[in-house]
Structure 1
């Protein structure tokens, strides 16, 4: 688990924009059902 957490931090440092984009997509995806309903 520590190894994965460390990799996560490294990935965040290397590609912060990519992670932000992923978070935005996740937020949009979670909002889609609300919009449909």
Structure 2
């Protein structure tokens, strides 16, 4: 296995719970607003 280096931390969020989905939606909304 190898590490995959990405320029944004949001890609590492594991969305397996409703609260995780809410977090990702907030993060993406913040990126769109910027």
Unaligned runs of at least 5 residues, structure 1: 1-8
Aligned to 1:21: 22
Q: Which structure is higher in helix share?
A: 1
Unaligned runs of at least 5 residues, structure 2: 1-13
Question: Quick one: higher RCO (CA 8 Å, sep 6+), 1 or 2?
Answer: 2
* Rg comparison, structure with higher value: 1
Please give the root-mean-square deviation of Cα atoms over the aligned residues, in Å.
1.6
Aligned length: 20
* 1:1-37 aligned within 5 A: 12=16, 16-33=17-34
